[in-house]
Chain A
Amino acid sequence: MGKLATITRRTFLIGSAAIAGGVAFGTYLYKRPVDNPLQKDLTDGEAAITPYVKISPDGITLITPRADKGQGAYSIQAHLLAEELDIDPNTATISPGLPGPAYYNSAILTEGLSFPAYDNSTLAENMRSFMAVPARLFAMQLTGGSSTVPDGFIRMRMAGAVARETLKAAAALRTGISRAQLQTENGRVILPDGTSLPYTELAADAATLEPVTEVALRPASEWTRLGKPMPRIDMPAKCTGTEKYGIDLEVEGMVYAAVRANPGIGGTMESFDATAATTMRGVHKVIPIKHGVAVIADNTWRAWRAANKIDITWGAAPYPANTDEIFARIESVIDQEEHRDHRNRDDGEVQSSLDSGDILEATYKVPYLAHAPMEPMNAIVLVKDDSCVIWTGTQIPLFVRDHAAKITGLDAEQVLVHVQPMGGSFGHKLEDTHVLQAVEIAVAMRDTPVKLVWSREEDMTHDYPRPGAIAKGRGKVVNGQVDTFDLSVGQSAMAPNWFGRLMGMSLPGPDQTITTGSWDQPFAIPNYRVTGYRAPEMVPVSSWRSVGASGNGFMHDTLLDELIHSAGADPLAERIRLCNDDTSLKVLEKVGEISAWDGPSIEANRGRGVAFCLSFGVPVAIVTEVTHTDHGIRIDSVFAVVDVGEVLDPVNLEAQVSGGLLFGMAHAMNCETTYENHAAQQNNFHAFEGMRLYQTPKIEVVALTNASKIRGIGEPGLPPAAPSLGNAIFAATGQRLREMPFNKHIDFI
């Protein structure tokens, strides 16, 4: 942890500022104080701070800038602050704050570097801390990449500690008792005689003091909240229907909008006839927007109903019309030098090894996939002459703000984004097309708030999916051991495509996401090569839970499993033998232990498969057990072992790992997004079912803490899930699955 601390401390300082009646504690960025998000609350001269804690006579507010899309981010951020502040986070107001660049996410860009996450060499460390600078340049207050915990682990506890000590200093001044003799507990400073002063009464005094910044963070052994099960703060609301998601908000006087945009994403609208729609009950207006048409009505259902009655002629979209053509283009770049994007792994002599002996060859394929969170995209926007206010669930509030400023012609400071809790995202809410449509409509409806909700059909046909990919694998075994492993992955570049939409400019250089989850695995195979080939931009694509590793985890581990099988070795033992990272090795050993691994076959028609993937710095090994029944494959049990360095909340960790691996298996079973006539064919859950409760296996999760850095766990559980399932099916049936979804080749119960 020492190393992490030095890196983070170099880039921020904790300080305080006076606010109306009280005090705020937070970070000063030491290079250039970027615009302050709470400037609307603070007066001039106090604007250099990015607060995490605000205390006033009325109460305590904890500011949790990383968005909550279901992973428990608000809750964990509040607990990080509360651990050092000594308050019960359930008694505080939790607010995402207003977005501001000072909440930049220093952790997220570090995974895009070409050092494997297990490489802690000085060069790798320097590069990772250097990446905090571009993150700030891009002003990314974005949530993703399992970065919330690594990013806030030091910073938020420091803010809590500085606040606590400064409040104690205020109490010391008032009582004449030295700060060292004061304790804190439950939002109060405790005096030696047992009497106490609430923080809320000390806030105004604390605002006049120099903040106490010489504080030491408590060691894990002294934690009272972190490291133990922490009931999620949002749980009661989510179990009583009282949590307000963006889709549930009502702003006084609002109207309801529906859109129909070209289902060929980015295609034009040639013409439309809204005669039937405009006369329908509740319809105020029908207006053309970019790529489509919008209906404004007096409720959601009426708006949708009218939108479906509009006759529209669409123009073609700027990519091949159907899935076969798209995959043909992907396949055509593989092993073509002029399309090589990067080769980050090239150990030994792969080429010459492949020139002789028995070569195993196989082709793997992963489909395009929509995100389809349960809550469809929605936004409420109010545009006035001098302001634009937006309420929406988003992982990218600053991009939303800047894009809205551009459309409305307002300054960025005149745009306010209120981030709402999200009913899932999986990467979907790293996009803002729906918000921009709502802004466009709100410009036409000036002074009236407009609520836009995408129907499920609109949502799934306008999803920027996980890119499809094809990989060609080759390899060789020598003396019962894996000797040569060569994987060539072809895919459209995701990161530049996504950045292009957000930044209006592409990202230069190679796109690591083509091979993340393949090139960076901790195995010492003598001849080991992974190459990424870049297919042209086609369907616009984006991040999907676990990003590049979602497909690469499957392709890499399945090839490895095939080679191990042809070597006649035990799948777990050979992975352990090849593994050259100690933390990963222990994860593999542990999964063998908890699954009582004794080989891939269990009994007739039953088998088990193991898979491993290191992603977002977290090594994860999964063993899956299946039965081949008369009605298809039944997934019986799953054992997962992860290493996150430090477990902040074991209960939420288990939920995230289980949820991630089930997400991986669900899509591996039966989901894909295909295109016909430029349009996504799966437009609702009947055609994109995923997993249902009766198909859900028993799951056991164990978290180890041998890693030197703390890591987030929202994504890493996913990548090894599909290959462990495929490997288990192979063990049970002898049928090797090289293409997802698996139900193209085998039935599930």
Chain B
Amino acid sequence: MQIKVNNETLEVDVEPEMPLLWVLRDELGITGPKYGCGIAQCGACTVHINGLATRSCQLAIGDLGDREVTTIEGLGNPDSLHAVQQAWIEHQVAQCGYCQSGQIMQAASLLSSNPQPSDDVIDAAMSGNLCRCGTYPRIRTAVKTAAKKLAES
């Protein structure tokens, strides 16, 4: 079957019930999305489906259809960073960093639907993403900085 990932159309031969996360990681070698729990509890696997933050461990590849997948690799890269990534680096958010692909994808999706989120909205939108290292205070600040950057650009 064909799937669209980061503006490319790719061919995969897998059973329809395989979660998108494992198609990305093991079949396509796209390892930015991380495995943390497999049961929608941690958000480490978050990608965008048609721009919307989605837990890729929960989406069977057979249900994807022709919707577009964007992973953190497609959001920006070290040479051309997305505003959220810039803000994350500016505030030195990551510790182990393992949850941060998911955090960043969640934040980018939030800001594209709500460019000026209130503190409560940020708290609600980001609370499905676990961080065991405890980077939450910096995530809060970085989301606000990213909102400013996006508004200015």
Contact = CB atoms under 8 A, between A and B. Distances in A.
Interface stretch (A433-441, A473-481, A685-693): A685-693
A692 B130 contact: yes
A536 interface: no
Contacts of A70: 95-98, 133
B73 A655 contact: no
Interface string A673-705: 000000000001110011111101011000000
Contacts of A661: 134
B132 A663 contact: yes
B10 interface: no
A559 B100 CA distance: 39
A238 B97 contact: yes
Given A240-B77, A300-B25, A374-B42, A424 B72 contact: no
B92 A690 contact: no
Nearest to A696: B136
Contacts of A658: 134, 137
A454 to B, nearest CB: 10
Contacts of B71: 241
Interface of A: 69-72, 229, 231-232, 234-245, 247-248, 250, 256, 281, 299-302, 372-376, 422-426, 453, 455-456, 651-652, 655-656, 658-663, 666, 684-686, 689-694, 696, 698-699
Given A241-B101, A652-B92, A686 B41 contact: yes
Nearest to B95: A70
B139 interface: yes
B92 A300 contact: no
Contacts of B4: none
A458 to B, nearest CB: 11
27 contacts: A235-B94, A236-B89, A237-B78, A239-B93, A239-B104, A240-B77, A240-B78, A241-B71, A241-B72, A242-B32, A247-B34, A248-B31, A302-B18, A374-B132, A375-B34, A424-B132, A426-B132, A651-B92, A663-B133, A666-B134, A684-B41, A686-B39, A686-B41, A693-B123, A693-B127, A693-B131, A693-B136
Contacts of B35: 247, 300, 376, 453, 456
* Dominant SS among interface residues on chain A: loop
Interface size class of B (residues with CB under 8 A): 35 or more
Contacts of A696: 136-137, 140
Contact of B92 (A231, A243, A662): A231
Interface string B107-141: 00000000000000011101111111111111110
B27 A299 contact: yes
Contact of A374 (B96, B128, B139): B96
A18 to B, nearest CB: 35
Contacts of A425: 96
Contacts of A242: 32, 73, 77-78
Contacts of B128: 692
B95 to A, nearest CB: 4
Interface in B47-72: 71-72
A256 B18 CA distance: 15
A240 B82 CA distance: 9
A694 B122 CA distance: 9
Nearest to A701: B137
A179 to B, nearest CB: 38
A109 B133 CA distance: 25
Residue of B29, B93, B137 most packed against chain A (CB within 10 A) = B137
A694 B138 contact: no
A256 B26 contact: yes
A73 to B, nearest CB: 11
B1 interface: no
B72 to A, nearest CB: 3
A684 B93 CA distance: 25
Contacts of B132: 372-374, 424, 426, 663, 690
B130 A301 contact: no
A373 B134 CA distance: 11
B32 A241 contact: yes
Contacts of A656: 95
10 A-B pairs closest in CB distance: A241-B32, A70-B96, A423-B98, A238-B97, A662-B134, A241-B72, A659-B134, A301-B22, A248-B31, A299-B26
A698 B138 CA distance: 10
A694 B101 CA distance: 19
Given A301-B26, A655-B92, A691 B134 contact: yes
A659 B133 contact: yes
A186 to B, nearest CB: 21
A693 B129 contact: yes
B37 A456 contact: yes
A234 B97 contact: yes
Contact of A373 (B25, B88, B96, B104): B96
B128 to A, nearest CB: 8
Contacts of A666: 134
Interface in B16-33: 18-19, 22, 25-27, 29, 31-33
A240 B32 CA distance: 8
B89 A231 contact: yes
